Chain A
Amino acid sequence: MVIVKRKQLTLGERLYLPEIVRGLSITVRKMFAKRATRQYPEEPLVTTAVTRGQPRLAMNPDQTLRCVSCGMCEAACPAYAITIDAHEVEREIEREPEHFEIDMLRCILCGFCEEACPKEAIWMSDELELADYTRASLVYKLDRLVRPVSQLQGRIDYIEEINRRWNN
């Protein structure tokens, strides 16, 4: 047989009123404490270099794409979100994507494309917001994917730092 020893309540606790006052004082203090809620659309999300947002294509300062349409990211993508069509150009790298599509509704933000890319052309940016009225408009084409390198530099530096740590 289990005998539960109940705690003997003091007179103050049995009267209940002092305890009510104690509880009320806690809640009134909380009323003036700092709010935990972030006002989302006005106060944007805090992003850092570690933030793994939507993939973006890096564009060199001379307005050329780094991507050579090798298809590594397309093959690495577990969600089959990436579709690439290549064409030849006169530049040294000779190849460039004619079409580069990422279906943002399929993308799971895993970052495999970023790891797979041999030319440091695709990076996980800090852009996270995704909302529109049709599915078609969320299949991002080149015009919505390309970002200048400077905008992605934080992420690039971070990944290089990580790689250095692992390669040594």
Chain B
Amino acid sequence: MTVLLATLLKVLVIFGCLISAAGISTLAERKISAWIQLRRGPNRVGPFGLLQPLADGIKFMFKEEFVPPGKSRFLFILAPALAAVPAMMSVAVIPFTGRIAEIDGTPILGSVADLDMGAIFIMAVSGLGVYGIILGGWASNSKYPLLGGLRAAAQMISYELSMILIILAIVAMSGTLNLREIADAQNDHTLLGFLPAWNVFLQPLAFVLFVICTFAETNRHPFDFAECESELVGGFHTEYSSMKFALFFIGEYCAMIVMACLTTTLFLGGASVPFWAEAPWFIGLGSFVFKAAAFMFLFIWVRWSLPRFRYDQLMALGWKVFLPLAITNIFITGLVLAL
């Protein structure tokens, strides 16, 4: 009973933190873009503009809702939810920290669900996010959203393939699909006596490929062909307004956060702190949040630095470069493991 309560509490806390983090990310996005462009960014709502996400939320609530006639009204309304829910769901298996406490002999772990096939779960669920985008594009009954939706679908399928192959190499190294155990496997020894044995040092090629794949997977710049303002007006969310539009945004930022957490888990040793194996759980949590936040910063930083790819270049990169490299990586990993 207490274990169930603890799990419920964890669900509430992690869900609340995820939504708040998505809000903070929108503010961070605006702030960092402003700094990069020598502007100041929002600073009128609250100290340093910290209440800006709240103001944005209220504004979205009071905006007029518009549903374009012609296609299915039901699907049009369903699409934003379909885009946001998988991203929020997949955070359930992320091991934010190590063991928190122990109740009646049952350890309370840092993730909501300590699934044995967490890596598969996260790929499967986050892959569902594309349905929201393609449905939204189709139900808008307009050509640009449809194009955006189609592009998103093609892009996510192409890059998911490479991404799964990269994860496969990591899984082969740690011998488990459980994300917590993958993270722990990186912390039981050191490399050359001083480097923590994080996968980022053991699999640098996989790390670079994976990070680039996360950009494509979350439809982030420079691969944001689902939105593509300059070509497709606003892409799949052109016809969306009010809270439905905001839901797409929350979904996008939640997906980014999940991908940042996943990269942290797979490549940066999760909640571990270098040279402090016995760190208490809250220190581990802080370490995890710090690493994930660094990836969120990278997402934003790249967006405001690079121009968008051309669509055929994106596809060529996905199929002609990433897929062969990912397969090569698996072979090399297998070879090294076999020796």
Residues of A that sit less than 8 Å from B by CB: 17, 20, 23-24, 26-28, 30-37, 39
Contacts and interface: CB of A to CB of B under 8 A. Distances in A.
Contacts of B305: 20, 23-24, 26-27
A26 B38 CA distance: 12
Given A17-B208, A28-B301, A31-B32, A23 B306 contact: yes
20 contacts: A17-B208, A20-B302, A20-B305, A20-B306, A23-B305, A23-B306, A24-B301, A24-B302, A27-B36, A27-B301, A28-B301, A30-B38, A31-B32, A34-B38, A35-B38, A35-B39, A35-B40, A37-B38, A37-B39, A39-B40
Nearest to A28: B301
A31 B302 contact: no
Query: Chain B: interface residue count, which band?
Result: 10 to 19
B304 interface: yes
B290 interface: no
A27 B305 CA distance: 6
Q: Of B32, B37, B302, B305, which is in contact with the most chain A CB atoms at under 10 Å from its CB?
A: B305
Given A17-B208, A27-B301, A37-B40, 11 more contacts: A20-B306, A23-B306, A28-B301, A30-B35, A30-B36, A30-B38, A31-B36, A35-B39, A36-B38, A36-B39, A39-B40
Interface of B: 32, 35-40, 208, 301-302, 304-306
Contacts of B32: 31
Contacts of A17: 208
Contacts of B302: 20, 24
A27 B306 CA distance: 10
Nearest to A19: B306
A37 B301 CA distance: 20
Contacts of B304: 27
A33 B40 contact: no
Contacts of B38: 30, 33-37
Contact of B35 (A23, A24, A31): A31
Contacts of A26: 305
A33 B37 CA distance: 10
A31 B37 CA distance: 8
B107 to A, nearest CB: 41
B83 to A, nearest CB: 28
B308 to A, nearest CB: 13
Contacts of B36: 27-28, 30-31
Can you list the 9 inter-chain pairs with the closest CB atoms, starting with the nearest? A27-B305, A31-B35, A36-B38, A27-B36, A23-B305, A37-B40, A24-B305, A37-B39, A30-B36
Contacts of B40: 35, 37, 39
A24 B304 CA distance: 9
Contacts of B208: 17
A36 B39 CA distance: 6
